Structure formats: structure tokens, C-alpha cells
């Protein structure tokens, strides 16, 4: 079981290499750019010649801003803030976030940690990302693991809203049964104790990083179960 993902990754790389570099196109596939962001293999822009890179890696360039449309139930646009071609990572920020005030996006429920493996590039989480949950609780919770999120929500019906981080260090027993999950999103944080809601929102505006050069074995359950609160409940 330990060996399997590596083998899959290797075959994945080979398969990608073959599909991304058909010998007909190399000459035309110059680096393009959107704003200040250089776009090159494996990514492409719509305006790049056909055959350069794979369509699943096509980014949208509008007004010098690069976005990646990802399917999260419905399509959701993520700004591509950074691409590290050395580390094979992209840093994505939800394009719907309001930079001027704390407002939490309500993503549809799905297995975030498997997301968006179902379609498109095999992005996967990398170290440092955790799943942030927004909880709505029946009573006030006083715990360093819960950060008051009431300033970020406009739901008068549930006055006790909290940020709650769940990662592989978190214990299910830390989840208070008087709460229910309202929203979830990936964030580059591993500990929210002592942070304010605006600290957390600032970090959300920094987005999260995903590794793009990994071939996922969709049938391997270990990719999807490692730190999902929903799966453990």
C-alpha cells in the first residue's frame, strides 16, 4: 500500500509527459503571460496554440488577472496568485472573497480533501493546508480552538459562529456537539489559537496552495480520508 501511490505517481508523470509534449508543438509553445504571471507548461491560456499543454490546465486571463475555473458543485473561480514551476504548486484565492470586509464563502459540501480530483488536473493539498470549518453553535463556546466568527457572518439566526480548524493534529472530541458545520474551506494555517477573525480572514485572502504535478489514484481511499471532519463524524 505504501508503494502504490509512488508507482501511480510515476506512471502519471509519464502519461502526462506524453500527453503534454506531443512532438508537433514544442516549437510554438513559448511562455505566455497574464499580468505579471508567466504561463507555461503544463498550464496554457486559451490563446496559446492548440496542442500546447493539456486543456484541463487551461487558465483564463481577463484584465491581467489569471483565474482557474474549478468545479465545486458549481464552477467557482479562483484567482491564480502564484505558480511555482520549481515546486509544482499553485496558490489560489477564491475570486468571490471581498477584500474590504470579512465575508465567508459558503462552499457546497463535498469532500474538500479529495477536491477537485474528480475532474481536471490532479491538484492535491500540500503541507500547511488545513480545512477551516465555520460552525454555528447553539451556545457560546469558550475554547482556544474556537475563534469567534460572528463579525464575518451575517446570519442573525445563529449568533454563535466560530472558526474551527481541523487538520491531522485535531481530535474529533474537540468538535462540540452543539455545533453544526456551515462552511468549509482550505487555508494555509495549522493553528488558530490566539488569532482574531480578521487574522483568519487575512490568511484566507492569501489563499491556499495545491500541488499540480501529481497523478492521483482516484480509487485509493487514503487520499480522501486523512483529515476530513465529515468523514470522522
Ligand X SMILES: *[C@@H]1O[C@H](CO)[C@@H](O)[C@H](O)[C@H]1NC(C)=O
Site for ligand X in 166-185 (CB under 6 A): 169, 176-178
What residues contact 205, with CB distance under 8 A and at least 6 apart?
93, 97, 99
Name the one range near ligand X by CB under 6 A: 3-11, 155-163, 181-189, 190-198: 190-198
How many binding residues for ligand X (CB under 6 A)? 23
What residues contact 190, with CB distance under 8 A and at least 6 apart?
128, 130, 165, 167, 169
Question: Rounded to whole angstroms, how far apart are CA atoms 130 and 150?
Answer: 21
Strand partners, 90: 83, 210
- 122 is an interface residue for ligand X by CB under 6 A: no
Site for ligand X in 95-114 (CB under 6 A): 113
Name the one range near ligand X by CB under 6 A: 69-77, 103-111, 139-147, 199-207: 139-147
Name the one range near ligand X by CB under 6 A: 4-12, 23-31, 103-111, 122-130: 122-130
- 146 is an interface residue for ligand X by CB under 6 A: no
Site for ligand X in 194-213 (CB under 6 A): 194, 196-197
- 89 is an interface residue for ligand X by CB under 6 A: no
Question: Rounded to whole angstroms, how far apart are CA atoms 189 and 127?
Answer: 10
- The phi-psi region of residue 207 (left if phi > 0; otherwise alpha if psi is between -120 and 50; otherwise beta) is left
- 125 is an interface residue for ligand X by CB under 6 A: yes
C-alpha cell at 206: 492569501
Name the one range near ligand X by CB under 6 A: 13-21, 74-82, 92-100, 140-148: 140-148
- 193 is an interface residue for ligand X by CB under 6 A: yes
Strand order in the sheet with 58-62: 44-45, 58-62, 65-72, 74-84, 89-94, 208-211, 124-125
Question: Rounded to whole angstroms, how far apart are CA atoms 203 and 183?
Answer: 16
- 151 is an interface residue for ligand X by CB under 6 A: yes
Site for ligand X in 51-70 (CB under 6 A): 63-64
Q: Using CB under 6 A as the criterion, which residues of the chain lie in contact with ligand X when the complex forms?
A: 63-64, 113, 124-127, 139, 141-142, 148, 151, 169, 176-178, 191, 193-194, 196-197, 223, 226
Amino acid at each position: 500500500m505504501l508503494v502504490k501511490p509512488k508507482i501511480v505517481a510515476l506512471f502519471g508523470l509519464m502519461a502526462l509527459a506524453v500527453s503534454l509534449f506531443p512532438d508537433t508543438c514544442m516549437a510554438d509553445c513559448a511562455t505566455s503571460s497574464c499580468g505579471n504571471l508567466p504561463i507555461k507548461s503544463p498550464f496554457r491560456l486559451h490563446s496559446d496554440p492548440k496542442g500546447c499543454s493539456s486543456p484541463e490546465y487551461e487558465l483564463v486571463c481577463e484584465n491581467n488577472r489569471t483565474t482557474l475555473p474549478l468545479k465545486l458543485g458549481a464552477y467557482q473561480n479562483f484567482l491564480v496568485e502564484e505558480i511555482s514551476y520549481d515546486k509544482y504548486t499553485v496558490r489560489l484565492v477564491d475570486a468571490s472573497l471581498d477584500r474590504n470586509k470579512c465575508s465567508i464563502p459558503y462552499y457546497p459540501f463535498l469532500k474538500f480533501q479529495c477536491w477537485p480530483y474528480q475532474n481536471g488536473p490532479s491538484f492535491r493539498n500540500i503541507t500547511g493546508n488545513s480545512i477551516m470549518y465555520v460552525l454555528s453553535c447553539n451556545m457560546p463556546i469558550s475554547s482556544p480552538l474556537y475563534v469567534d466568527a460572528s463579525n464575518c457572518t451575517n446570519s442573525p439566526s445563529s449568533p454563535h459562529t466560530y472558526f474551527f480548524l481541523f487538520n491531522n493534529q485535531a481530535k474529533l472530541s474537540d468538535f462540540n456537539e452543539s455545533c453544526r458545520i456551515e462552511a468549509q474551506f482550505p487555508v494555509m494555517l495549522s493553528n488558530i489559537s490566539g488569532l482574531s477573525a480578521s487574522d483568519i480572514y487575512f490568511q484566507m485572502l492569501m489563499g491556499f496552495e495545491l500541488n499540480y504535478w501529481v497523478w492521483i489514484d482516484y480509487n485509493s481511499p487514503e487520499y480522501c480520508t486523512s483529515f476530513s471532519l465529515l468523514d470522522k463524524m
